[in-house]
Amino acid sequence: MEIRHFLLGLCAFCLFHRRASAESTCNLKAKFNLSGYKDVEKKKVVIGGMFPIHKRIASNDGNTLRLPVSSDCEGFNFRTFRWTQAMLFAINEINKREDLLPNTDLGYVIYDSCFTISKAVEGTLTYLTGQDEAVPNYRCGDGPPLAALVGAGGSDLSIATARILGLYHFPQVSYSSTCSALESKFQFPTFLRTIPNDKHQSTAIAKMVLHFGWTWVGTIAADDDYGKYGIKDFKEQVEEAGVCISFSETLSPEDIQRIVQTVVEATAKIIVVFSSDVDLSPLITELLRQNVTNRTWIATEAWVTSLWAKGCTLTDSLLGGTLGFAVKRASIPGFQRYLLDMDPYTDPLTEEFWETVCLGLPDGLCTGCESVAKLNNTYFDVSQLRITYSVYKAVYAVAHALHNLEHCKEGQGPFNGKDCADITDFEPWQVSLPHTDEEIYFDKGDVEGFYEIINWQFSSNGEISYVIVGHYNGSAAPEDRMNILNDSIVWNSEPPRSVCSENCQPGTRKGIRQGEPVCCFDCIPCADGEISNTSNARECILCGVDDWSNDAHDACVPKIIEFLAFGEPLGITFLFIALLFLFKVVFIMNVGTPLVKANDALLSFSLLFSLVVTFLCSIFFLGQPQNWSCMTSQVALALGFAFCLSSIMSGYTLLPHCVCYEMPLSTHLNIFSFLYTQGIACGVWLIMLPPHSIKNTSAKNIKIILECDEGSVVFICCIFSYDILLALLAFIFAFIARKLEDNFSEGKCITFGMLVFFIVWISFVPAYLSTRGKFMVAVQIFAILASSFGLLTCIFLPKCYILLVKPECNTEEMMRPHAKTRDGTATGTSASLATAATEVNATISSMHSRRGRYLCTKNLTFKHSSLVHTEQDKF
């Protein structure tokens, strides 16, 4: 340690004595090559400055095998040259002022950083040591003390210089480095700035994007800390708010072609660019060359007022309508005069300035005494003094700090024991910034986040004007931070829309596209029974059980209630048919006196009555189901059929066996016992688990079916199984009796009727099972009507035939079953009537013996009558 200290001390000593005898111990590694301004002679304090007066360093040949040479700079930048002049102007002004540092003349050392980190580091080391052949950590010579460094242009340069200056707690006041990384007091303890932190700007841009509803944006960032941090902060904020990034490019000279391609192909119409104008211009040139139009650019403070767009009509289609954020603008009184009064040939930089100006002029115009006011050059444009003003403020901030230091009252100072520092011999860390004054106030090293929102508007002759269309104030309440006058904005063509997918209308929902950002989605229509009533719904909502979606799928509407109503055509038809049949039954009952009473009157009536019941019960199936109608219809049907079938079974089919006009009482008892059993079963059913009306919401989506629930499947099965049993018995008996002769050949007719009955009910099963809703009821009614009508017709049609066609035979006498014998031989009188159509032969044979009584059969057939005559003649 001690040896090192000794050596360094020695080295410093050497340098201090102009390297007289030290060449043996210290050797020079490289000589820095810096350009700039310097005036330290007879000055009390020196302020440092660093400006990117050139745009880049001249590329070296890459040869690392020889002594390194500090590169030259190229690409003179008029704009930053004006910034430099602002610093000189401010120092001049302060030196002239009586109220600020009255006894102190400020000197300055200003270096050109050439927009390059290495040059900025060279400058910083040179400034700190006072030598361009510097020994780090030492400052040799007896020059005035250094106060602060104003600089160093771009953020990455400031980061580099602030790391070195931070080692010595050397104050640095930046006028343009906005990167949020510089806010860290831990890394950059003495870094301050007179320009807002980019945190505010990223937030402001995010707010603007959200304000205009753009959800699909592209970003381009400079390949430096400024671009990367700025875009990162911006992205974080917009992505949180649901905006998607279409593309994200980093500007580097080799990638220009690819970036242009990306911009051309991208569907995003909004492009946010975090870059300085210097870095961006190659891309803009290429986009212009490829005639890319119809994009809206969002500019940051570093290029929003860049003048390369000036006077070029082509830029209109590409950059017209650009919106951007600019730091506060101010006028600096006397500054324009100062710029105009600049002496042409005093120093190399000024000379280069004039050379560059003249190069851009038509031949012969550069005479050396030009009227600079006439030159249309960025340097002389004082309409947008923004960063320039920031430079001016930075110099003033340092001056104020020095003023305070100079006027410190002993015993009230900021240092140990309230000491003060000496203006002629102080350490840089003793320069106390932050400093409060009405103009400059550093809040933790930053100034407030205030921006003007600027819109690029082109006139027809290609002149650009930067129109202020709003403000952003980062320290206001969140809702008041930004105000934009939408109407003052002139867009490139129409107000841009930048979305990946258009909004999903109500009735649809967003469907994600695999592998694409969330802003790109498909709109999927809601399924039936589901709705979405907002646009951009993520999910469709299921309607309630009683509701269903409307056609547009944007509202739930009550389901249609379905039942077989009396009023609808089907209902009316059934009602009509049922009533028609009823009338028929009643007609038969009333009109067909003797005919109907053939066999057994009571039996006929009970059969007819049971049919009345079944026809009537079919009517109960119609209309809106109620608990009572459900009970009535089912029970009436069960009893009606039981009654009907038991009548058929125990009455009609047995009749041929017994010669009886009046049926034995036992038969009646039989019928009633069957009916009674069924009645009991129905009663139990009604008491225990009665049928009731229900709303069936599950059978059909869009409808609520009002239907009858059987209450208990077991009961209904039992009850109708009983009916089936009776039907089977009736059929079997009828089948057995079909060959027996009787008055109307009833055995056959009933067999046929029962067959119809079975066919109807067997075909009912699949028909019933394959329908839904009211058609189920319709099938039921149809089956009831058809089966009842089948029975009615088969049993009574032959009788009716007589009734209608041969009314003369409808007499008591004709109907008396004299012909019946105990042994069951068919000699019955009325048999011949009934079988007019079917059993002709049987009829004829019976007529042989009972001639006189069958006059009415005479005309049945020709054959008959001839036979009859023959018979009659015999008597």
> What is the full DSSP assignment across 756-771?
HHHHHHHHHHHHHHT-
Q: Which of 710, 568, 689, 694 is nearest to 637 (CA)?
A: 710
Q: Which of 596, 616, 617 is nearest to 607 (CA)?
A: 596
Annotate each residue in 377-396 with x if it binds ligand TRP (CB under 6 A) or - if it does not, as one string: ----------x---------
Q: How far is the CB of 488 from ligand TRP (least distance, A)?
A: 24
Rounded CA separation 864/840 (Å): 9
Q: Which of the stretches 249-257, 274-282, 457-465, 811-819 binds ligand TRP when contact is defined by CB under 6 A?
A: 274-282
Closer CB to ligand TRP, residue 140 or residue 179? 179
Rounded to 5°, angle at Cα 724 from 722 and 730: 105
Q: How far is the CB of 222 from ligand TRP (least distance, A)?
A: 8
Closer CB to ligand TRP, residue 300 or residue 647? 300
Among 276, 430, 604, 618, binds ligand TRP (CB under 6 A): 276
Annotate each residue in 219-258 with x if it binds ligand TRP (CB under 6 A) or - if it does not, as one string: -------x--------------------------------
Q: How far is the CB of 328 from ligand TRP (least distance, A)?
A: 13
Q: How far is the CB of 386 from ligand TRP (least distance, A)?
A: 8
Q: Which of the stretches 176-184, 362-370, 418-426, 708-716 binds ligand TRP when contact is defined by CB under 6 A?
A: 176-184
Among 162, 302, 349, 531, binds ligand TRP (CB under 6 A): 302
Among 155, 190, 599, 743, binds ligand TRP (CB under 6 A): 155
Burial class of residue 188, CB neighbours in 10 A (0-12, 13-18, 19+): buried
Helix (H) or strand (E) holding 244: strand 244-251
Q: Which of the stretches 173-181, 336-344, 413-421, 780-788 binds ligand TRP when contact is defined by CB under 6 A?
A: 173-181
Closer CB to ligand TRP, residue 81 or residue 581? 81
Q: How far is the CB of 87 from ligand TRP (least distance, A)?
A: 15
The number of residues making up the chain comes to 875
Decide: is 275 part of the binding site for ligand TRP (CB under 6 A). Answer: no
Rounded CA separation 809/37 (Å): 146
Decide: is 130 part of the binding site for ligand TRP (CB under 6 A). Answer: no
Q: How far is the CB of 117 from ligand TRP (least distance, A)?
A: 12
**Residues near ligand TRP (CB under 6 A), total:** 13
Q: How far is the CB of 234 from ligand TRP (least distance, A)?
A: 14
Closer CB to ligand TRP, residue 190 or residue 629? 190
Whose tokens are 């042994």? That residue is 823
Q: How far is the CB of 206 from ligand TRP (least distance, A)?
A: 18
Closer CB to ligand TRP, residue 277 or residue 746? 277
Closer CB to ligand TRP, residue 390 or residue 646? 390
**Angle, helices 256-265/277-289, rounded to nearest 10 degrees:** 60
The CA-atom distances, in angstroms, between 599 and each of 494, 610, 672, 824 are: 99, 17, 18, 14
Q: Which of the stretches 84-92, 270-278, 609-617, 865-873 binds ligand TRP when contact is defined by CB under 6 A?
A: 270-278
CA 789 to chain centre: 62
Rounded CA separation 421/405 (Å): 6
Closer CB to ligand TRP, residue 327 or residue 556? 327
Structure tokens at 821: 């014998």
Decide: is 445 part of the binding site for ligand TRP (CB under 6 A). Answer: no
Decide: is 179 part of the binding site for ligand TRP (CB under 6 A). Answer: yes
Rounded CA separation 111/89 (Å): 16
Q: How far is the CB of 56 from ligand TRP (least distance, A)?
A: 12
Q: Please, which of residues 637-676 interact with ligand TRP by CB under 6 A?
A: none
Q: Which of the stretches 273-281, 541-549, 763-771, 835-843 binds ligand TRP when contact is defined by CB under 6 A?
A: 273-281
Q: How far is the CB of 315 from ligand TRP (least distance, A)?
A: 18
Q: How far is the CB of 178 from ligand TRP (least distance, A)?
A: 4
Rounded CA separation 412/421 (Å): 11
Q: How far is the CB of 528 from ligand TRP (least distance, A)?
A: 57
Closer CB to ligand TRP, residue 328 or residue 657? 328
Q: Which of 58, 56, 54 is nearest to 79 (CA)?
A: 54
Closer CB to ligand TRP, residue 105 or residue 223? 223
Cα four-point dihedral sign 345, 350, 353, 357 = negative
Rounded CA separation 346/85 (Å): 14
Q: How far is the CB of 52 from ligand TRP (least distance, A)?
A: 7
Residue 564 in 3-state DSSP? coil
Closer CB to ligand TRP, residue 388 or residue 599? 388
Residue 424 in 3-state DSSP? coil
Q: Which of 583, 584, 566 is nearest to 575 (CA)?
A: 566
Closer CB to ligand TRP, residue 279 or residue 742? 279
Closer CB to ligand TRP, residue 278 or residue 420? 278
Annotate each residue in 19-48 with x if it binds ligand TRP (CB under 6 A) or - if it does not, as one string: ------------------------------
Closer CB to ligand TRP, residue 272 or residue 520? 272
Among 36, 145, 151, 154, binds ligand TRP (CB under 6 A): 154
Rounded CA separation 479/382 (Å): 34
Decide: is 178 part of the binding site for ligand TRP (CB under 6 A). Answer: yes
Decide: is 120 part of the binding site for ligand TRP (CB under 6 A). Answer: no
**Angle, helices 665-688/601-621, rounded to nearest 10 degrees:** 20
Q: Which of 433, 474, 422 is nearest to 451 (CA)?
A: 474
The CA-atom distances, in angstroms, between 783 and each of 691, 693, 734, 787, 790 are: 20, 21, 22, 6, 10
Are 548 and 702 in contact, with CB atoms under 8 Å apart? yes
3-state DSSP helix/strand/coil % of the chain, to nearest 5 = 45, 15, 40
Decide: is 177 part of the binding site for ligand TRP (CB under 6 A). Answer: yes
Rounded CA separation 786/756 (Å): 9
Rounded CA separation 412/561 (Å): 92
Are 500 and 493 in contact, with CB atoms under 8 Å apart? no
Whose tokens are 């040479």? That residue is 69
Burial class of residue 337, CB neighbours in 10 A (0-12, 13-18, 19+): exposed
Q: How far is the CB of 376 from ligand TRP (least distance, A)?
A: 20
Q: How far is the CB of 419 from ligand TRP (least distance, A)?
A: 37
The pair phi, psi for residue 249, each rounded to 5°, is: -115, 150
Residue 790 in 3-state DSSP? helix
Q: Which of the stretches 174-182, 427-435, 448-456, 724-732 binds ligand TRP when contact is defined by CB under 6 A?
A: 174-182
Q: Which amino acid is at 732?
A: I
Beta-bridge partners for 824: none
Rounded CA separation 211/80 (Å): 33
Among 233, 277, 562, 742, binds ligand TRP (CB under 6 A): 277
Decide: is 202 part of the binding site for ligand TRP (CB under 6 A). Answer: no
Rounded CA separation 81/83 (Å): 5
Q: Which of the stretches 86-94, 175-183, 370-378, 849-857 binds ligand TRP when contact is defined by CB under 6 A?
A: 175-183
Q: Which of the stretches 125-133, 170-178, 251-259, 525-533 binds ligand TRP when contact is defined by CB under 6 A?
A: 170-178
Closer CB to ligand TRP, residue 177 or residue 498? 177
Closer CB to ligand TRP, residue 93 or residue 301? 301
- Residues forming the site for ligand TRP (CB under 6 A): 154-155, 176-179, 226, 276-278, 301-302, 387
